[in-house]
Amino acid sequence: MKVNVFSVLMLAVVAFLIMGLSVSPLQASQYLGEVTWNGSVTGGGSFTMKAAISRVAGSYYEIQGQGTFGSGDPPAIFAGGGVLVGTNLILTATLTQMESKGDGYNDAIVIRVTIDKSTFTGTFWWVNNWYDLTSGHFGQTYTPGTLTCTSTPFPLVPNSQAATSLMLLN
């Protein structure tokens, strides 16, 4: 029995189209807005953070931003994700900052943030793992504090008209 190559090719194309049409498109995360916080460290000290918050899906979120922790310091860059639990958005992020004042310290910080979803005000704690380039010493500090939103809070649910579909084609 002789098989027609064209018929086999058409059958493969039809099968591919049927399977391809039954797969749901991937949803890209949706940018919700930018928030600015004034942070107050328990025991003294303050800083400013600015971040973009996006909704990935369901109750899952992502955050990217920067913070200014001291006069003349370069911005500290952070990124992470979180979950909406009840009325709070709980986020975990990693933050890095390179030394700039010649003090030899490089920081790698894990920060946990809990904010109220309607006011965007909340609390934080971070664990700072630092390395002194000049002496070769490592150290770790724990720092808690509060965050006060200084920008206009925005809803943590996306605008359904702005949702973006992402199609992946090879």
**pLDDT for the residue numbered 99:** 64
pLDDT in tens, the chain (170 residues): 555 666 666 666 666 656 555 555 556 789 999 999 999 999 898 999 999 999 999 999 999 999 987 777 788 899 999 999 999 999 999 998 776 656 666 778 899 999 999 999 999 999 987 777 777 778 888 899 999 999 999 999 865 544 444 555 55
Q: SS3 for 9?
A: helix
What's the token pair of residue 30? 């949706």
Structure token pair of residue 147:
């965050």
- Residue 65 CA to residue 58 CA, distance in Å, equals 22
CA distance 110 to 121: 19
Does the 28-157 domain belong in CATH 2.30.29?
no
3-state secondary structure at position 109 = strand
According to the 3-state scheme, what is the secondary structure of 135-146?
CCCEEEEEEEEE
What is the C-alpha separation between 95 and 110, in angstroms, rounded? Answer: 6
Do residues 30 and 54 make contact, with C-beta atoms less than 8 angstroms apart?
A: yes
